[in-house]
Amino acid sequence: MMEAKDGQAWLGTNGYGSRREEDGVCHDDSATPVRANTVDELHSLQRKPQVVEDRHRLQLQSISASLASMTCGIGPKLVNGDPARKKEMAGKAVTHHQHHITVPTITVSDSDLKFTHVLYNLSPSELYEHAIKYEKGSFITSSGALATLSGAKTGRSPRDKRVVKDETTDDLWWGKGSPNIEMDEQTFLINRERAVDYLNSLDKVFVNDQFLNWDPNNRIKVRIISARAYHSLFMHNMCIRPTYEELENFGEPDFTIYNAGQFPCNRYTHYMTSSTSIDLNLKRREMVILGTRYAGEMKKGLFSVMHYLMPKKQILSLHSGCNMGRGGDVALFFGLSGTGKTTLSTDRNRILIGDDEHCWSDNGISNIEGGCYAKCIDLSQEKEPDIWDAIKFGTVLENVVFDEHSREVDYTEKSVTENTRAAYPIEYIANAKIPCVGPHPKNVILLACDAFGVLPPVSKLSHAQTMYHFISGYTALVAGTEDGIKEPQATFSACFGAAFIMLHPTRYAAMLADKMNKHGATGWLVNTGWIGGR
């Protein structure tokens, strides 16, 4: 391609606008030049291979099926690309006006006449552009990270989480003490329809096709359909990013999220207690989000799904950080959000496998996620240099406060929330292990942020003591992690993650005891809170 004098790109018949010389004879390939005003027009002139066109068509068909309405026909027609760019291109095209007047006969629903543009697996740069241009409250900070706001909800809403109770979920943990609040399938479909109708009403939706679990034998394909670029970038960072070849052969997802968090649920719908609802249907392999834009609901919702699917394969799912010494010794760090999992697992002297969610199979340990979700309150370069360095272009900063002119973030400021967060790909940590897998753990460390100063700093545990502390899960719920929590509160969270487990805690504890005995792991209790009284 050469630049013409009038600023237009010229293409010769060989597609390169060049002259080639063979056997001493100069062949002019620049005959019959084709002009294009923009790169998009230039690309449109280049014929796509049929296999690529077929793949795009199948992608759209699959996404269209995901967004199909249960009651209103098939939903809108889905097309690839940014509607703003298509309008811009259409404005430059020459239009020929015809004066024929016709009266169309409409035999389909209004939704069938609408086009919704699918923005499929966009790059971080593209998502930055969409967030800054269209989403109020999105800015680039001095480090290059994207700062954004999650709206009124700045933490998870566990009391608004529902799970469909049906014949496939008889073995779930139900009843007193369980985080699983039941709903029926009809109510789920009502909320699903509300979410799908909202997404179908938009000019564009963001679609991510990604993976969970770095163990290739047990990975899960997930599709996230959302309305915000910020949510798409968040999940791009937090899930495992497929290669181009893997994306071409992705096929149908194993689980789908419909994130319509900008739109509330109907509070008069059965089982609803507020305008927020996070609904899981394990039989349909679907999750619906209404009434909250806090991105952590997607991450933890998928974690709940893994807590259901993995034990069925005799794989233990764990709410833990994980790192490995240079000699291959793996350590697990159990604990609730804010107790130190991310900080302790991100150690410059050890290799990071993951900061929050893992699976322990017969092959060893594997990270569920492709990124880290670190708390940012009081973050400093001196105390946590690796996390500090990871906050750069591509990282999402949630609900932080920054200087209006310099765009430097004040991590001590908590006027929006104490639960300020950074979501970044795991490879942003210099000593991360890619792929994020390791041998069987040698140390199992239970973290308790004790708000009352009762627990000793470090305790070595027998296997029986390890199971006791694992099932009881004593810690303090720290401010900001959940909506409405302002001060530390003593709590007992089974398996150090009761909000996410799907089966009875003893099921996970029995699997942990079996694996620790089999592989000779040692249990520890570490107090990351107050020592020696308040």
Asked if 422 and 395 touch (Cβ cutoff 8 Å), the reply is yes
**Choice among 421, 469, 504, 515 that is catalytic:** 421
**Choice among 117, 130, 153, 156 that is catalytic:** 156
Query: Distance (Å, rounded) from C-alpha 141 to C-alpha 134?
Result: 17
Asked if 41 and 50 touch (Cβ cutoff 8 Å), the reply is no
Planar angle of CA 321, 322, 328, nearest 5 degrees: 170
* Catalytic residue list contains 356: yes
* Catalytic residue list contains 342: yes
Half-sphere exposure of 18 (CA within 13 A, CB side): 6
* Catalytic residue list contains 66: no
* Catalytic residue list contains 159: no
* Catalytic residue list contains 13: no
- Tokens representing residue 235 in the block: 């999940």
* Catalytic residue list contains 23: no
* Catalytic residue list contains 136: no
**Choice among 160, 215, 355, 356 that is catalytic:** 356
* Catalytic residue list contains 194: no
Strand partners, 184: none
Asked if 522 and 442 touch (Cβ cutoff 8 Å), the reply is yes
166 to each of 118, 182, 306, how far by Cα in Å? 33, 9, 18
Planar angle of CA 382, 387, 390, nearest 5 degrees: 120
**Choice among 111, 116, 337, 366 that is catalytic:** 337
Using alpha carbons, select from 265, 199, 255 the residue that is nearest to residue 227.
199
Asked if 471 and 464 touch (Cβ cutoff 8 Å), the reply is no
**Choice among 293, 300, 504, 515 that is catalytic:** 300
SS (H, E, C) 84-118: HHHHHHHHHCCCCCCCCCCCCCCCCCHHHHCEEEE
Q: Is the peptide bond before 435 cis (omega within 30 degrees of 0)?
A: yes
**Choice among 153, 231, 236, 319 that is catalytic:** 319
Catalytic annotation, residues? 156, 300, 319, 337, 341-342, 356, 421
